[in-house]
Structure 1
Amino acid sequence: YSDTKRSVPSSASPTTPTTPGGSRRRQSTKEIALEKNDFIAPQFTDKLKDLKIKDGESLTLKAVVTGDPEPHIQWLKNGKPLSSSDIIDLKYKSGVASLNINEVFPEDEGDYECIATNSEGKESTKCKLTIIPMEEKPKETGPSKPPRIVDHLTSGSVSDGSP
């Protein structure tokens, strides 16, 4: 960054009147030096990491970002913008951007990106989410077993209407 100089008109002040009802004004120009810009472009100090989780588990992606002015955060999945909903909870507080999904499904698999933008620049971090499918219960293998007799039949008589 470099110092910037700008010409600014100084305040005009009335002087002694030269004609009845008239006045004379004087105006000059001053140069002032503006301070260096103290703003900082966004920078991720803790980036997203690739993740593998099981189908049905909960997911939390977190990234820590700094910047001044405070960055605007945007999340993308496979290049498409995400927004908070009943399924996805997006938050940004005290420099921590997070994405939460209570229960992931195979369709949640993909490339996730967190983008931080402010007046000084833009920075992003990415990760790949892999969903491990639920294990199906193995079916019994081998020959099927014949029925087993657990109690022998007995003869009996019952009158109509008896329990």
Structure 2
Amino acid sequence: MSTQAPTFIQPLQSVVALEGSAAMFQAQVSGSPVPEVSWFRDGQVLSAAALPGVQISFSDGRAVLRIPAVTAAHSGRFSVRATNGAGQATSTAELLVTAETVPPNFLQRLQSSTVRQGSQVKLNVRVSGIPSPGVKFYREGAEIQSSTDFKILQEGDLYTLLIAEAFPEDSGTYSVIATNSGGRVTCTAELLVQGEEAVPAKKTKTTPQVRQPREEKVRLCKASTI
């Protein structure tokens, strides 16, 4: 059985949470054998006893830490460490607890685009807000779930819908809705995926460019009389 050191496929993301609301950190880790996972807060080992109410789980490579109701005392640097016989990896992010609510706002909106069939497509938005908004992508009004073909990625305030290989049937209206306790915003863009052009049965000759004849001045000659 081959061994593989732990790797974070999806690292922790920093969280801004409203006081009294729930806050959650999650990360996706791979490795063989399956790594053991431990959590730390400001460098100290974290446990349910050290942080009352904290909920920690690890299943199918997904490590989750959830605090049902945060207070200002929960603010700090959280880390998750994955360890197996081949090595270890650590991912770290910040939790900021605030009493202020700021409605979501798009710092970068979706952009309409036209691509060729088979191209990789990235639809990006940047979203701010306190607490951190929940962000969902839609196509023609139907929510897109993250899958092999359509991956939803997050890096800080940047959210990306990654289409690994676009086809004409993926064309349409895409939208993003960002929501938190302060409000909700949406933005929309069009994606056009152009299919391969049909090859004509016969090659058509290229029509030569017709040059316009130069205007010739007509000379009027008077008949001379002898």
Please give the range of the TM-score, normalised by the shorter of the 2 chains. 0.5 to 0.7
Q: Does 2:186 align with 1:129?
A: no
Aligned to 2:201: 139
| Distance apart, 1:123 and its partner CA | 0.7
1:97 counterpart = 2:138: no
Normalised by the length of structure 2, the TM-score is 0.45
**Number of the residue aligned with 1:80:** 142
Alignment partner, residue 44 of structure 1? 106
Number of matched residues?
Answer: 107
Structure 1 unaligned runs (5+)?
1-36, 143-163
Q: 2:132 aligns with which of 70, 91, 99?
A: 70
CA displacement, residues 105-151 of structure 1 (integer Å, 9 cap, x when unaligned) = 11100000011101111011110111112123343348xxxxxxxxx
Partner of 1:147: none
Deviation at 1:43, TM superposition (A): 0.1
Q: Say which SS state the counterpart of residue 187 (structure 2) adopts.
A: strand
d(CA) in 2 for partners of 1:117, 1:102: 27
For residue 114 of structure 2, what is the amino acid of its counterpart?
K
Residue of structure 1 aligned with 2:182, choices 112, 120, 125: 120
Report SS of the residue matched to 2:123.
Answer: strand
**In structure 2, how many angstroms separate the alpha carbons of the residues matched to 1:120 and 1:141?**
62
Identity fraction in percent: 28
Structure 1 segment 9-28 matched on structure 2, within 5 A: none
CA distance in 1, matches of 2:177, 2:195: 29
The structure having more radius of gyration, on CA atoms, is: 1
Whole-angstrom CA distance in 2 between matches of 1:81 and 1:90 = 12
RMSD of aligned Cα (Å): 1.7
SS at match of 2:128: strand
Work out the CA distance in 2 between the residues paired with 1:141 and 1:94.
53
Task: Kindly provide the amino acid, as one letter, of the partner of residue 147 in structure 2.
Answer: S
Return the alpha-carbon distance in structure 2 between the equivalents of residues 76 and 122 of structure 1.
15
Mind listing any 5+ residue stretches in structure 2 that lack a counterpart? 1-98, 205-226
TM-score if structure 1 supplies the norm length?
A: 0.62
Q: Which amino acid is 1:74 matched to?
A: K
Q: Which has the higher contact order (CA 8 A, sep 6+)?
A: 1
Give the conservation status (yes or no) of the 8 Å contact 1:55–1:105: yes
Contact 1:73 / 1:92 at 8 angstroms: preserved in 2? no
* Cα distance in 1, alignment partners of residues 154 and 106 from structure 2: 13
Q: How far apart, in 2, do the equivalents of 1:65 and 1:46 lie?
A: 7
SS at match of 2:137: strand
